[in-house]
Structures are given as structure tokens and as C-alpha cells.
Amino acid sequence: MGRCDTTALAFSHLMVDNDHQLRWIRVALFPINVRLSFKIINEFSFTPIARRGAFNANVAVWGIHLAMKSFEWALFSNNPRNDAYQVQPEFLKVTNLQSGSPTKSHLDRWKEIIGGTFERFLSLRGLKYGWGRRLQEEERTLRYTLQLIFISHCIQIIGLIGCILLRDHGSAMKAWKAAGLPEFLGARVLAEGIASLSFGFLIISGVELAGGYLALLSHFITWLSKFISLPFWFVSFWDPKLFIPFFHVPHQPPSLAWFWGTGWHQMFRRDYLVCGALPASRAAAKLGCGPQGQRICGLFGSFIVSGIQHEIIIRCIARPTHPFPHVHFLSYPGSLVFFLIQPIGILLEPYILPLIPASLGGGWTWTTVFILWSCIPFRDQYILNYRNIDYLYPALEKWKKIGFLLPYKVMEW
């Protein structure tokens, strides 16, 4: 699989992108890449299945991402004028590559192709694709990185406790009662909201912790490069300026559109655009829809691809050998339902936001309530039945005190 994917990617490099014969090779490799990507998703897994949910989720994420990138590598040209494919972020002062530059030797050109291939193959955001509004952030310092890791760790503990209570008791209200909280009018609404918030905390903290550790590694490699000669493409790949936070204040959303377009992580933005939004909008244009109809179809297309991606991930977590397997077309598609609801909310919010006064929170209230309630089927699909939070984590009453500071200390491998 790696050979096919990297070959297709190398043939899409700026230096060889105009070669029509190589482009046909890229197209021919596309179905092979997709087949191999899904073969790994379906056949490769960490065991025991019921204790490796998070690990198998990562396998699925990586495999689906490669399948979607294969579609892009096969069918899309890498025009350097395309803002989504700038060679480096705008805040880096790096000279763009020039196709066929006479000043480069044959060996230098191949080194550049190999380096660029390595960079794009491993980058979840394409070739330095920006985040949300293409934030031009300064390099985050080592101190800031350590602070973010600490904060993310604390948030993860809170989210983990809430999700384990939900998993062990089967519903948000039962978890509420098990925590010793009193029943009152509106308790169920509050319980569901807290459970959904715990799920969100778990996602945000997990992603930011992974990004934080990568940022730490980038600082180390940058420091090491001062003493050891390292390839330019390798050092530039690990430039600390590129490892900006994954999320942009998702707890302060003025609207649902802003939340998904800027506040939430944008790792798969390019994938959803290429595999969902563009095909859907172009199909709408072929059917005679106007610009507004094309935009609406593109919006639904991107969220449908996201929903399908998360359905594949949960199937990879809860395989047929899992005690509570997820079976496509038989099990309730909670992820797909959640992501199908989001574009409906985005289309409705211009009419709803004016009705919510600023004194009641305005757009923040609308977005928060909509997300927390619409994600219930998505949350339950991943948390209940020992799926993403599986048997690796025992019930809270079995935790030692150190577990509430360092959860890995109580993991039952």
C-alpha cells in the first residue's frame, strides 16, 4: 500500500505534475490505493479488540484519509496558485518551488521530490493547508506547548470520568443519579448536556495532546538541527511554526457555521472538500441548480463524507468479534445522523439567531445547545457498549487515587 500511495503522490509533485503520462499512472493507481486502504482498515487491527478501541480508531482514520487523498492525487492537479496548496504557510518566508528550475541539478530535483512526497504523505492537512481562517499565528513557544499539554490533560481527565460514568450506567440520567446528584425539573436536560460535553472534552483533549507532543518533538528537532546537519526538507517539515493548535476557541462559537469552519479542528477539511463538497456541487450544477443550490449541495456533501468516515471508524472499533459489534445497515447510524443534522442547522441559523437576544447568549447559546443535543446519537454510538472507551478503562470505583491524575496508571492492558 505504501508503495502505491507514495508512487502516486510522487507523480503529483509540482515538478512532474504537467507530465500527462505520469498523471495517467496516478489515475491508474487510484483504485488500487483505495482497495488497499480499505483492506488494511478491514483486516488489520490491534487485539484484544475490546481493549484497543482508540488504537483501532486511529487505524481507521489513517486508512480513510489515505483513501480520500488517493482520490485527490489521482484527479486533481496541484496548481501552485491554489491557496489550498501553497508550498509553505504564509507566515514562513520560504521561496516557492519552481517547476523545471535550471539552477537545480538532477539529484537536487529528485531530493526535492522525495522530500515533498514525504511531507505530503504524512500531513493530515494536505501540503501545509491552513486552519479555519488561515490563522497567521506566531510560533508557539516551548512554554506555551507545555501549558497546552497540561490543560489538555486536565480536560481529558474530566471528559474521561464523565464518559466512563455514561458507559457503565447506560444513560446520561442513570450516570447523573450514580454520581449522587439530585433529581429535579430539568435534571435530564442537564445530564444529557454534561454527558455530551464530556464526550467533546475527550475528543478535544485527545487531539490536542497528540498535537502537543508533536510540537514538543518539533522543538527538539529544531534544537538538534543547530548541532547536527539535517536535510532541509526534514527540518522544514518539523518547523515549530507549523504545529499550531488544532482547535480555535471552540467553546466561544458565535454560530454553527463558525464552529465547524473555524473553531473545530480542520484536519480533514481538504478531504471533505475534494471528496464531498466539490463532487456534490458539480453534480448540482449539471442538474441545473443555481449558485445557491450548488453551495447547499456542497455543504451536505462535505458533512455526508464526514458522517460516512465516522461510521467506518466505529465499525473498525466495534468489529464483528467485539462483544457489542457495530454492523452497517443493521446498527443505528448515530454518527451519520449527527453529521446530516449539522448542515440543516447551518441553513436554519440565519433565521434563528436574530430571535435569540444577546442577553441570553445569542449565537453562543444556539450553537452550544444545538451541538450538545444533536451529538447524543453520535456520543452514545462511540461511548456506550464499551467501544471507544472500552474495557481498557475499569469502572471509576476500581480506580486508585493516582488514576485521577494519571489515567494510564489504571488501564487494564
Read off the pLDDT of each residue in 171-191 and give the average, rounded to a whole number.
Answer: 94
pLDDT of residue 37: 87
Q: Which residue has the higher pLDDT, 94 or 362?
A: 362
**Separation between Cα atoms, residue 228 and residue 399, nearest integer Å:** 45
Residue 25 pLDDT level (bands cut at 50, 70, 90): confident
Where do the structural domains in the chain lie, given as residue ranges? 2-122, 142-405
Is the model's pLDDT at 355 over the cut of 70?
Answer: yes
pLDDT of residue 62: 86
**Helix intervals (H) in 97-249:** 106-122, 142-169, 172-178, 187-224, 232-237
Lowest pLDDT segment from 171-185, 256-270, 314-328:
256-270
Short-list 254, 12, 230, 219, CA closest to 117: 12
Residue 404 pLDDT level (bands cut at 50, 70, 90): confident
Q: Which residue has the higher pLDDT, 89 or 239?
A: 239
Q: Which residue has the higher pLDDT, 20 or 184?
A: 184
40-44, 122-126, 390-394 — which one is most confidently predicted on average? Answer: 390-394
Q: Which residue has the higher pLDDT, 189 or 44?
A: 189
pLDDT of residue 403: 84
**Separation between Cα atoms, residue 73 and residue 76, nearest integer Å:** 6
- Average pLDDT of the chain is 84
Contact yes or no for 172/188 (Cβ under 8 A): yes
pLDDT of residue 92: 45
Long-range contacts of 203-206 (CB under 8 A, 24+ apart): 203/159, 204/152, 204/155, 204/159, 204/247, 204/250, 205/152, 205/153, 205/155, 205/156, 205/159, 206/54, 206/156
Amino acid in position 381: Q
pLDDT of residue 332: 94
pLDDT of residue 71: 86
pLDDT of residue 189: 95
Short-list 226, 256, 257, 221, CA closest to 241: 221
Contact yes or no for 149/107 (Cβ under 8 A): no
CB atoms within 10 A of CB 135: 13
Is the model's pLDDT at 348 over the cut of 80?
Answer: yes
Output the pTM of the full model: 0.87
Q: Which residue has the higher pLDDT, 399 or 121?
A: 399
3-state secondary structure of 349: helix
pLDDT of residue 81: 40
Lowest pLDDT segment from 70-79, 114-123, 242-251, 364-373:
114-123
Residue 137 pLDDT level (bands cut at 50, 70, 90): low
**Separation between Cα atoms, residue 317 and residue 335, nearest integer Å:** 13
Lowest pLDDT segment from 117-131, 154-168, 274-288, 337-351:
117-131
pLDDT of residue 105: 66
pLDDT of residue 409: 84
Contact yes or no for 296/279 (Cβ under 8 A): no
Residue 101 pLDDT level (bands cut at 50, 70, 90): very low
End-to-end CA distance of the chain: 30
Is the model's pLDDT at 2 over the cut of 60?
Answer: no
Q: Which residue has the higher pLDDT, 243 or 129?
A: 243
pLDDT of residue 389: 94
Residue 140 pLDDT level (bands cut at 50, 70, 90): confident
**Separation between Cα atoms, residue 346 and residue 389, nearest integer Å:** 30
Is the model's pLDDT at 334 over the cut of 80?
Answer: yes
Cβ burial of 97 (10 Å; 0-12, 13-18, 19+) is middle
